[in-house]
A and B are shown apart, each in its own frame.
Chain A
Amino acid sequence: MAGGRLGENIGMREELIKKASSLAMKAHRSPGKPFLSEKSRGSPEIIIAFPGSWSVGDWFSGRSFGETKVDNLFPSVRSIGNDEVGLANEAFIRRFKEILRSLENEVKKAERRQIIFAGHSSGGPIAILATLWFLEESLKPNSSPIPPLCVTFGSPLTGDRMFPHALRRESWAHYFIHFVMKYDIVPRIMLSPFSSIERELATILSFFNPKSANFEQQSIGRDNMTLNFFMIVMRNASSLASHAACNLMGCTNLLLETVTNFIELSPYRPFGTYIFCTRNGELVVVKNPDAVLQLLFYCLQLSSEAEDKALVAYTSLQEHLVYERELQESLEMQNVVYLDLLEELPLSSDVSSSINRALNELGLSTRARLCLRCCWREYKTGCEVRQIGYYDAFKLQKEDRDFHANVARLELAGMWDEIIEMLRRYELPDGFECRKEWIKLGTNYRRLVEPLDIANYYRHLKNEDTGPYLIKGRPKRYKYTQKWREHAERLSIGSGSESCFWAEVEELRTSNNGSFDAMEDRILQFEQRVYRWVSAQELGKDVFLDEATFMKWWKKNLPSQHREASCLKKFIGG
């Protein structure tokens, strides 16, 4: 297990964490302000802390789990090839949008200082979204800001599984640091459907509200309603953790799928670095999001039947308010354990080691340990994936005989299809679609082989059976690799389709009986794209050879008036 002081490992100084936690608590007590900011003189950082809100409407909107698509606000939160858009809590997004304008001004004032976004409780999600927004901004041209940090204390979960996926892909995950007290109920609340906790939630939230009469009232904490609330949250957390564990363990029992249709499971998932804190000052650092999800449930389990459930329920509320004080102590003690080698986790509690002490401290049974172990994924970048790297796509060109080139083409296609299939199931590392060597390999492959596939498609007249290549026939291996490049080079979606050149030519040739008038717009746009591709050397000039299909069509079907004025004129000459 990795060692070292906490601050060095997670990239945030202890003293800064303490300051952030104090400011985050202070933000709650400053009514009317969208956030507090603090920059000490000479310090290279500025801390911006967001207050929480205690009204139910600011936690859940609508029914179910109150989730909505993040859409254009956070364009990176999606998968590239599969093109799935992430979901986030709608109420949190709304609150973030409300403060966005004033936040923009504040960020401008930061100048060359590193910004720390901080939040306690439901201020946490705002800090998370602010950080994400900042990171998205930094992708824009001409900006080279200092990477921000986000630190939350007892924050509820904010986004779905696309968040851990996309943030790890973009290498942003380590900017997010979440502190969670072992028993704090709040980080688990989002695992329950709103309808199941609707009755209790308002009262529970008032317990956390410094301005409410219920603030930290034992009468609330000891109430049966609190116990009830605790049980519901636990039960839902248990369902979700078990479901996730089944999938991670590679459960082949299809009953899992059948049962899943009958129950509501929360879409929310943790991401970033989690630090679980016990009252004894133990700090357990976990970066694997699957493992964090398991811990969110298993840490709450009681040690024996004798333990007083009502008391634990009360504790689960109290621990939401102790971060500032507990962290002061824990950070001094530096009893830190890093759970990073999950596959080597001891299953028995009787082995003596620092890691076991921490696991016992968190109260993890063998079952829980098994669930953590299965979170370690050995990615099946199996032989197919490696093989393709060695496979020289250019071999295709050297093969003088058509037929062997054809067989090689099919073999290659098989390998790519397997990779795409793994991506569809999210079985490859999150950053796979961003790896330079793969983008290059995929682009080369696509430019070289797709024209052959297109030729084959039209040679076998599949367009007559099935429809145009671009709509009906284009294999996923080309769509995905095109999206990889578009994402990496920040191109607009669909602009990198140079490998489909011949398919467009074929379609133009055959549609509308080749009449020019009906398609003038389409042809003009197409020519502009060709111009761009050829200028950027993405498309070879051999397409302008006289005997090539394109030139034959161009010269024969397009009126000379158009040809004279065409942007392609300068390539064609004569």
Chain B
Amino acid sequence: MNQFSSGLDLANLVLSSDLLHLSWDAISNLYRDNNPSDPTLILRVKYRVYSQPSKASIVVFVPSRICTALHLQDEGSDLVSSATLRENFPLFDFLSSKDNPSFSIHRAAITLFASLHDELSPLKNQLGNTTPLIITGHSLGGSVASLFTLWLLESISRKATKRPLCITFGSPLIGDEGFQQAILNRPTWNSCFLHVASNQDLIPKLFISPHNAHAPNIESTSQTNTYRPFGTFLLCSESDCTSFEEPESILELLVAMSSESMGNQNSSENLQIVDYKGFLEYLKCKAIFHRGVSEMGEWLNNPFRAGVSIQLESIGVKKSQQQQNDIIIRIEERVEKFLACKINVFDPSKKLNDRKIDMAFLEWYKKVSKDHGGYYDSYKNVMLKPRATAVLHKRILTRYWKEMVTEAERMPQREGASFRFRWLYAGTNYRRMVEPLDIAEHYKSGKKDYLTQGRSEHYMLLEQWLKDAKPEGGQNSANERTKACSQTEDSCFWAHVEEAIISCNLLNAGETSSENREMCRLALLTFEQDVMDLVKNYAASPEIFLEQSSFMKWWRQYQMIVGSSYNSSLTDYMRNHKYQHYK
């Protein structure tokens, strides 16, 4: 468990860098040029690009007229679901994935974004791989900035190592739990968002419904149609600022800190725009030059709690000691849980080593099975003693790889791609080693059509990734094999053999229609060709030519069917026993 809470230091790093100032300056420039105080204007979003040589380029979004909490309430807080969006604005469909299929976005935000879409398209292409790039916005402009950043992240080159940074000031929450989950599932995307929220600003907490915020934890997560935060929040008060990433704590603190500061204020202040510039200037000075107070209760001698306690103090959450301690404990629990999930996602490599040991067991099984018809057929037919061990290790391996593949699928493209690349070799070995055993089980139980009916999806994906990773234009001649490989390259080879045997049986039985017979013949011809291709490239294991193997069984059957007058490269190869020299 992380012993420290680094929220203050991260906030301090952001504050002492110039990033926030640059962003806010750009925002105020754009406001100034647009005379936002004219209330008759229709609410739209303006944007502008500032590019300076050797400095970060900045894209700014601001509402076309002053947009206070009251205005925002008039705009409404309803959500549009991904199902509805799919019909008229499917741009963000990439956010849905298999285990997180639907999400909803703040109607006003997505509408404003959609109205700019035609202009933003060329801008997105033009920005392309511009780095460093800051995307920023205030209020509803911040919502649009977030959406634009997501759109950009989705299309960003896989090779780009530097990601854009999206900084919003006083923006409302923009999506529900599905939306939040879509971003949290992609840790690097989540790392691109920094939301600055002042305790005097009503807007960031505007869409937090009361039952959502005050309930300390889990019950509320089952609620749908409520807004949820994502990214990192920089919470600031008159005295200091700090950062939080854990979403439940963000919800709780957004409400807690603003209720502290709003307590004795006139509601007419809701009409004001919070001046983030003054805030930032003051906080920056303060964070750098002035040390804070140093009195700590004794139970806070735990560094994590002490850290959180200073964080609460820094955003002006001053409750009774007991209440404060309760908050700290809640945050501690949530952060612990949050980190546990994160670490899970990030450290799969440790187990990969253990899986190599499972593979060694299977390799050993492969070796002993050689005298019993080979790896495939002995697993299918012979009850060798070590078979039980093989079954066990196969099960462990399958569970591991299914999990890995799901994990990789959940990740965003670029991150997923590098992940896949690292695991590709191990995954390919696994597929070639274990899939034949799955095929054996499938056909042993009397089933057919493994490829369409029985093949697990994770095998298909692993195979697909291997294809994606290979450079285009086929195999490099330098890499051509000169010796037969130990595992057949096509992990579905045995399924093809089984299908070929079934075809032969059909032809022998002689009962089916001529149409069916023709199809069987065609299938067998294709199979013949495939086998010869494998053999020519040394891509098949010599095991397939063992006397008791299913392949040889097929050949004997096939030989009878085609008769001795039939000639092909395969029949030539087999009849003349050339296969005996295949090594």
- Where the two chains meet, the residues of A that have a C-beta atom closer than 8 Å to any C-beta of B are 231, 234-236, 238-239, 242-243, 245-246, 248-259, 261-263, 298, 301-305, 309, 347-350, 363-371, 373-374, 403, 406-407, 410-411, 413-414, 417-418, 460-461, 464-465
The chain B residue sitting closest to A406, CB to CB, is: B360
Q: How many angstroms between the C-alpha atoms of A245 and B310 in the bound complex?
A: 16
* Cα–Cα distance between A347 and B13 once the two chains are bound (Å): 22
Distance in Å from the Cβ of B407 to the closest Cβ of chain A? 17
6 further A-B contacts with Cβ under 8 Å, apart from A242-B9, A347-B306, A365-B292, are A238-B288, A256-B10, A259-B19, A350-B294, A350-B295, A410-B357
Q: Is B422 an interface residue (CB 8 A)?
A: no
Provide the bound-state CA to CA distance between A333 and B287, in Å. 34
Q: Which residues of B contact A262 (CB under 8 A)?
A: 17, 19, 56, 132, 134, 165
- Report whether B9 and A410 are in contact in the complex, using a CB–CB cutoff of 8 Å: no
> Could you mark each residue 426-469 of chain B with 1 if its beta carbon is under 8 Å from any beta carbon of chain A, else 0?
00000000000000000000000000000000000000000000
Residues in chain B near residue A236, CB distance under 8 A:
16
Q: Is the CB of B291 within 8 A of A242?
A: no
Measured CB to CB, the nearest residue on chain B to A254 is B191
List, in ascending order, chain B residues with CB within 8 A of A263's CB: 13, 17-19
Q: Which residues on B sit within 8 Å (CB–CB) of A245? A: 6, 9
Given A301-B290, A303-B291, A347-B301: A246 and B10 interface contact (C-beta under 8 Å): yes
User: Is A347 within 8 A of B245, CB to CB?
Assistant: no
Question: Do A414 and B356 have beta carbons less than 8 Å apart?
Answer: yes
Q: Is B163 positioned at the interface, with any CB of A under 8 Å from its CB?
A: yes
3 A-B pairs with the lowest CB-CB distances in the bound complex, closest first: A254-B191, A414-B353, A365-B291
User: Can you list 15 A-B pairs with a CB-CB distance of less than 8 A?
Assistant: A251-B10, A252-B2, A253-B10, A254-B188, A254-B190, A255-B232, A259-B13, A261-B132, A301-B289, A304-B290, A364-B291, A365-B292, A414-B357, A417-B353, A461-B481
Residue from A248, A261, A262 having most chain B Cβ neighbours under 10 A: A262
B residues within 8 A CB of A235? Answer: 16, 284, 288
CA distance A411 to B353 in the complex (A): 8
**Interface status of B12 (Cβ within 8 A of chain A):** yes
Q: State whether A365 touches B194 (Cβ < 8 A).
A: no
A255 touches B245 (CB 8 A): yes
Interchain CB contact under 8 A, B295 and A348: yes
**A472 nearest CB across to chain B (Å):** 12
Q: How far is the CA of A301 from the CA of B293 in the complex (A)?
A: 13
Report Cα–Cα, A546/B284, bound state, in Å: 77
| Chain A positions within 8 Å of B354 at CB level | 414
Complex contacts, B265 vs chain A, CB 8 Å: none
Q: Which of B2, B8, B188, B289 is A309 in contact with, Cβ under 8 Å?
A: B289
A367 touches B291 (CB 8 A): yes
Which B residues are CB-close (under 8 A) to A461?
481, 483, 485-486
Q: Closest CB of chain B to A368's CB: distance in Å?
A: 7
With the chains together, A254 CA to B412 CA distance in Å?
15
Contact among A246, A258, A464 with B192 in the assembled complex (CB-CB below 8 Å): A258
**B165: nearest residue on chain A (CB-CB)?**
A258
- What's the least CB distance linking B487 to chain A, in Å? 9
Q: With an 8 A cutoff between CB atoms, is B364 at the interface?
A: yes
- Known A242-B16, A262-B19; contact A302-B483, beta-carbon cutoff 8 A: no
Most-contacted residue by chain B among A258, A349, A417 (CB, 10 A):
A258
Q: Would A253 and B485 count as touching, CB distance under 8 A?
A: no
Min distance, Cβ B129 to any Cβ of chain A, angstroms = 13
**Judging by beta carbons under 8 Å apart, are A298 and B291 in contact?**
yes
Q: Contact between B6 and A250 (Cβ–Cβ < 8 Å)?
A: yes
**In the complex, A374→B307 CA distance in Å?**
11
Q: Is the CB of A249 within 8 A of B4?
A: yes
Interface string of B274-314 (1 = CB under 8 A from A): 00000000001011111111111000110100110010000
Q: Which B residues between 161 and 200 are near A, CB-CB below 8 angstroms?
A: 162-163, 165, 187-188, 190-194
Q: Contact partner of A242 among B12, B131, B342, CB < 8 A?
A: B12
- Which residues from chain A contact B231 at a C-beta distance below 8 Å? 255
CB distance from A313 to the nearest CB of B (A): 11
- In the complex, the chain A residue whose C-beta lies closest to that of B2 is A250
Q: Say how far A560's CB is from chain B's closest CB, in angstroms.
A: 29
Residues of A within 8 A of B3 (CB): 249-250, 374
Query: Could you say which residues of chain A place their CB within 8 Å of the CB of B243?
Result: 253, 255
A253 near B12 with CB under 8 A, answer: no
Compute how far the CA of A347 lies from the CA of B298 in the bound complex, rounded to whole angstroms.
Answer: 9
Contact status of A257 and B356, CB under 8 A, knowing A262-B17, A464-B481: no
